[in-house]
C-alpha cells in the first residue's frame, strides 16, 4: 500500500470518527483487546462502554465497564434473562447494598438500566482479585492480621446497618489492589434485612451449623463464616500467633452462644492483641 493510499484511508477514518462519537469508543476497545476488527459498541446509560463479560453464574452476570469520558473501570452486576423474579432480586440486593458506605465494603454506586431493559448494579472495579486466589499461596502474619481486621471492620458496618450478609466466603472477598488492607466484602444477593420468613441456601463450607440445620442466620452465623475464613488464612501461615488460632476456634464454636457475640467485639479483641 502506497503512502498516498494510507493517507486517504486515514483521512476517511478520521472523518468517520468525527461524525460518529460512538465509533471512537469502538476503535479504542478494539485496540485495547488487540482485535483485528471492530465490534459494535454497547453502552449503558449512554455513559459506560461494555468492555467484557467477566463472570456468569446461574442467574447473574458481571460486566466490566469503562466510563467513556473519564476512562475509569467499573463492574456491573446484571441478570442473565428478562425474568421479573431475577430482576426483583437484583433490585432488592441494590436496596440493601447501596446505603453501605465503608472502606471494607465494595462500593455500590447506583442501579442502571441496560439497553435491553435489564437492571444493573454499578460497582467499583476491583483489580486485586479474590481472597480465594490469595489462599493459593503463603501469607505472612502481617497480611493475615491486616486481612482479618479489614474483614471484621466491614462486617461490623454491615451489622450496624441491620443486615446479615449470610454468604461470607473467600470468593466474596475482593481486593482493590495488592495491598491486603484493600479487602472489601461483596455480594449481598442473599443478605437479610429483617425478612421474617427468609430462606437461605446453606450451600457453602463456611455456613454455620445452625444455618445448615435450617435456622435463620443472624450476626453470629456471619461470625462463624469469618472464623472459617480466618482458619483458612492461618493454614497458609506457618508462623501465626496462637491468639489468632484461638480466635478462629472461638468463632467456629458449634453453639452460637459460645461464639463472640459481635463483630465489634472481635475488632476490639484484635486491637488489644
Residue pLDDT tens, the chain, 273 long: 677 776 777 676 667 656 655 556 666 655 555 555 556 678 999 999 999 999 999 999 999 999 999 999 999 999 999 899 999 999 999 999 999 999 999 999 999 999 999 999 999 999 999 999 999 999 999 999 999 999 999 999 999 999 999 999 999 999 999 999 999 999 999 999 876 545 555 567 899 999 999 899 999 999 999 999 999 999 998 788 899 999 999 999 999 999 999 999 999 999 988
Q: What is the CATH number of the domain that holds 109?
A: 3.30.200.20
Asked whether residue 268 falls in the same domain as residue 140, the answer is: yes
CATH code where residue 248 lies = 1.10.510.10
Q: Measured between alpha carbons, how far is 258 from 249 in angstroms, rounded to an integer?
A: 11
Contact between residue 48 and residue 76 where contact means Cβ atoms under 8 Å apart: yes
Same domain, 167 and 72: no
Range of the domain at 99: 3-124
Cα 260 versus chain centre, distance: 26
DSSP 105: B
CA-CA distances (angstroms) from residue 108 to 73, 245, 260? 13, 33, 29
Residue 257 CA to residue 24 CA, distance in Å, equals 60
Looking at the structure of the chain, the number of domains it has is 2
Cα dihedral 32/66/178/105 (nearest 10): -160
The last residue of a domain, from among 89, 124, 159: 124
DSSP 3-state of 240: coil
110 and 137 assigned to the same domain: no
From 124, 143, 178, give the residue that closes a domain.
Answer: 124
pLDDT at position 19 = 60
Final residue belonging to a domain, choices 96, 124, 152? 124
Question: Do 9 and 51 belong together in one domain?
Answer: yes
Distance of CA 113 to the CA centre of its chain: 20
Q: pTM (2 decimals)?
A: 0.84
Give the pLDDT confidence score for residue 208 in this predicted structure: 95
Q: How many residues does the chain have?
A: 273
Instruction: Give 56's strand partners.
Output: 61
Going along 11-107, which residue ranges are E strands? 43-44, 48-56, 60-67, 73-79
Amino acid at each position: 500500500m502506497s503512502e498516498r493510499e494510507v493517507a486517504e484511508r486515514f483521512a476517511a477514518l478520521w472523518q468517520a470518527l468525527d461524525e460518529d462519537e460512538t465509533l471512537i469508543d469502538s476503535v479504542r476497545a478494539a485496540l485495547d483487546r488487540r482485535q483485528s476488527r471492530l465490534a459494535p459498541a454497547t453502552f449503558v446509560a449512554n455513559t459506560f462502554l461494555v468492555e467484557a463479560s467477566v463472570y456468569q453464574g446461574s442467574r447473574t452476570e458481571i460486566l466490566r465497564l469503562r466510563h467513556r469520558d473519564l476512562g475509569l473501570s467499573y463492574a456491573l452486576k446484571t441478570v442473565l434473562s428478562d425474568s421479573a423474579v431475577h430482576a426483583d432480586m437484583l433490585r432488592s440486593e441494590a436496596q440493601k447494598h447501596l446505603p453501605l458506605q465503608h472502606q471494607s465494603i465494595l462500593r455500590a454506586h447506583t442501579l442502571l438500566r441496560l439497553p435491553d431493559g435489564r437492571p444493573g448494579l454499578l460497582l467499583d472495579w476491583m483489580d486485586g482479585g479474590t481472597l480465594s486466589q490469595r489462599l493459593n499461596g503463603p501469607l505472612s502474619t502481617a497480611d493475615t492480621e491486616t486481612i482479618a481486621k479489614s474483614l471484621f471492620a466491614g462486617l461490623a458496618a454491615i451489622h450496624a446497618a441491620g443486615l446479615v450478609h449470610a454468604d461470607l466466603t473467600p470468593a466474596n472477598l475482593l481486593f482493590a489492589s495488592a495491598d491486603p488492607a484493600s479487602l472489601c466484602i461483596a455480594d449481598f444477593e442473599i443478605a437479610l434485612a429483617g425478612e421474617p420468613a427468609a430462606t437461605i441456601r446453606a450451600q457453602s463450607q463456611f455456613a454455620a451449623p445452625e444455618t445448615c440445620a435450617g435456622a435463620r442466620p443472624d450476626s453470629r452465623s456471619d461470625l462463624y463464616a469469618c472464623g472459617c475464613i480466618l482458619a483458612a488464612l492461618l493454614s497458609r501461615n506457618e508462623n501465626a500467633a496462637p491468639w489468632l488460632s484461638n480466635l478462629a476456634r472461638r468463632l467456629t464454636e458449634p453453639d452460637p452462644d459460645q461464639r463472640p457475640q459481635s463483630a465489634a467485639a472481635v475488632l476490639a479483641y484484635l486491637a488489644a492483641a
